[in-house]
């Protein structure tokens, strides 16, 4: 009898029901956790698979483009008397960089600024525009205060791969047109210096002023350099200026909405700077523009190539900064690199690391240091650099400073076509952050 009561208590229906509910709850929680993990894993796997499929598609497209480009180059070489006179080895000479070829140590803006006393002699050489002239090459070092605008972050520019306009015209202006230099207000001592050097160096000195001028002046600079191209194909100081002028024309094409011309000009600019690099590896300007144009060209390559391009960009900016540590544009470009790296999401970073190797680390604070260094070294107001200072403060959630720097960027003068593009983004952000409650 006692045994029966004991058994009845142990198997009481209410106890059994409660135990069953508890087990069901535990099983449900466990299943929910498993389903959630499976869903997250599946989503990440799908993203990586999609990225891999995109890479394969881009590789196929790139192979076709390279094949077409090779055919066009062969056709162009057959009709080019100068090219036919060169050796086959020289025509095929290229410069390549490994994705791991960053032997230069990475320094912050603060470290670069702390080395000012160590590089005083380099800065003196650059500021005094020292000139080396011989029969084959004329080297003119411009002031490191010259404004070299970097490509816009929205520049999905430039890619036809077709040869440059054989007539050498930009917006109806013939390359043989004599330029009006009256608009250039040069000092008498500068004119005396350039007159002693002959026609070509004198033109290059004046072109430096035009390259950072208005749209019309940039077009004049391009047409002038285009006219000088055939006689200066082995002059590295001419080639980097020609590359910069061609990139300026791409920015003008971007403003006009001519995407085909944009792509063509960016690739032509990259070809010019690629020829200049092996001719003079000690020029900060050449390393600077190689980095700029490699980055601009990388916008139209596949994901893997863009990652490699980022490494090449960083390598050449570091080299240029060793030669010109107080160059405002170089600090701006390095700030752009740090900003973009910091902008990568966790998934993007993990996917890139899994497919292409480790992605460099940086921070918005480090990017801000370089943008502020560029602001300090620049003698005039730089609209685009101030915009990126504001962008860093956005990421750091300091909206008061964001609005302050957007206002500073807005009042900076609009001089170049790049400034016109940047001004639109500044105005959009001013409207957005003028209503932030923290302000």
Residue 1 has pLDDT above 70, yes or no: no
What are the DSSP calls for 366-419, one per residue?
A: HHHHHHHHHHHH-SS--HHHHHHHHHHHHHTT-HHHHHHHHHHHHHS---SHHH
Provide the pLDDT for residue 354: 73
To the nearest whole percent, how much of the chain has pLDDT over 70? Answer: 61
Residue 346 has pLDDT above 70, yes or no: yes
Residue 178 has pLDDT above 70, yes or no: no
- Extents of the domains making up the chain: 2-45, 94-379
**116-142 residue pLDDT tens:** 444 444 334 444 433 333 334 333 333
Q: What is the mean pLDDT of residues 291-313?
A: 84
pLDDT level of residue 167 (50, 70, 90 thresholds): very low
Provide the pLDDT for residue 134: 38
Provide the pLDDT for residue 355: 66
User: What six digits make up the tokens of 63?
Assistant: 């192979």
Provide the pLDDT for residue 200: 61
Q: What is the mean pLDDT of residues 136-152?
A: 38
User: What six digits make up the tokens of 343?
Assistant: 């902008």
Place of tokens 């500021």: 127
Fold of 94-379: 1.25.40
- Give the SS3 label for residue 176: coil
Q: What is the mean pLDDT of residues 383-399?
A: 95
Alpha helices (runs of H) in 80-119, residue ranges in sequence order: 81-85, 88-91, 109-114
Q: What is the mean pLDDT of residues 166-191?
A: 37
- Give the SS3 label for residue 138: strand
User: What six digits make up the tokens of 290?
Assistant: 């190689």
**44-77 residue pLDDT tens:** 676 676 666 767 776 777 777 777 777 766 666 5
**CA torsion through residues 383, 381, 218, 82, sign:** negative
pLDDT level of residue 358 (50, 70, 90 thresholds): confident
Provide the pLDDT for residue 385: 96
Mean pLDDT of the residues in the chain: 71
Give the best-scoring range by mean pLDDT among 108-112, 133-137, 174-178, 321-325: 321-325
Provide the pLDDT for residue 103: 35
Rounded to whole angstroms, the Cα distance separating 122 from 116 reads: 10
Residue 111 has pLDDT above 50, yes or no: no
Q: What is the mean pLDDT of residues 305-331?
A: 90
Provide the 8-state DSSP code for 165. Answer: P
What does pTM read for this prediction? 0.54
Provide the pLDDT for residue 78: 55
Q: Which of 7-11, 199-203, 282-286, 351-355 has the lowest average pLDDT?
A: 7-11
Assess contact for 263 and 158: CB atoms under 8 A: yes
Give the best-scoring range by mean pLDDT among 108-117, 132-141, 195-204, 205-214: 205-214
Provide the pLDDT for residue 425: 94
Rounded to whole angstroms, the Cα distance separating 288 from 286 reads: 5
Provide the pLDDT for residue 11: 55
Residue 402 has pLDDT above 90, yes or no: yes
């Amino acid at each position: 009898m006692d045994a029966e009561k004991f058994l009845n208590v142990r198997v009481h229906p209410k106890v059994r029901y409660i135990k069953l509910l508890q087990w069901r709850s535990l099983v449900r929680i466990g299943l929910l956790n498993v389903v959630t993990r499976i869903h997250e894993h599946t989503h990440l796997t799908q993203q990586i698979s999609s990225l891999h499929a995109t890479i394969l598609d881009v590789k196929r497209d790139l192979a076709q483009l390279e094949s077409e480009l090779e055919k066009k180059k062969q056709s162009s070489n057959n009709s080019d008397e100068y090219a036919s006179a060169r050796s086959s080895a020289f025509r095929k000479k290229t410069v390549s960089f490994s994705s791991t070829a960053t032997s230069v140590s990475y320094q912050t803006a603060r470290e670069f600024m702390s080395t000012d006393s160590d590089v005083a002699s380099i800065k003196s050489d650059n500021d005094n525009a020292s000139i080396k002239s011989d029969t084959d090459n004329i080297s003119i070092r411009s002031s490191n205060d010259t404004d070299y605008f970097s490509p816009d972050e929205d520049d999905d520019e430039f890619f036809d791969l077709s040869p440059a306009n054989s007539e050498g015209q930009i917006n109806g202006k013939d390359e043989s047109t004599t330029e009006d230099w009256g608009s250039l207000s040069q000092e008498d001592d500068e004119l005396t210096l350039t007159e002693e050097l002959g026609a070509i160096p004198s033109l290059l000195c004046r072109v430096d002023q035009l390259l950072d001028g208005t749209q019309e002046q940039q077009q004049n600079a391009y047409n002038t350099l285009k006219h000088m191209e055939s006689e200066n194909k082995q002059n590295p100081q001419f080639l980097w200026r020609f590359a910069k002028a061609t990139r300026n024309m791409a920015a003008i094409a971007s403003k006009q909405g001519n995407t085909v011309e944009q792509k063509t000009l960016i690739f032509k600019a990259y070809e010019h700077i690629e020829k200049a690099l092996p001719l003079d590896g000690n020029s900060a300007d050449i390393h600077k523009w190689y980095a700029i144009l490699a980055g601009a060209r990388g916008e139209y390559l596949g994901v893997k190539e863009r990652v490699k391009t980022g490494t090449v960009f960083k390598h050449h900016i570091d080299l240029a900064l060793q030669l010109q540590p107080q160059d405002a544009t170089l600090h701006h470009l390095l700030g752009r690199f740090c900003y973009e790296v910091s902008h990568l999401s966790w998934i993007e970073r993990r996917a890139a690391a899994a497919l292409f190797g480790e992605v460099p680390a940086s921070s918005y604070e480090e990017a801000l240091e370089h943008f502020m260094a560029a602001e300090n070294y620049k003698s005039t107001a730089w609209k685009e650099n101030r915009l990126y200072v504001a962008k860093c403060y956005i990421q750091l959630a300091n909206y008061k400073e964001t609005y302050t720097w957007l206002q500073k960027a807005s009042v900076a003068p609009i001089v170049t076509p790049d400034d016109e593009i940047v001004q639109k983004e500044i105005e959009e952000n001013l409207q957005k952050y003028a209503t932030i409650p923290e302000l």
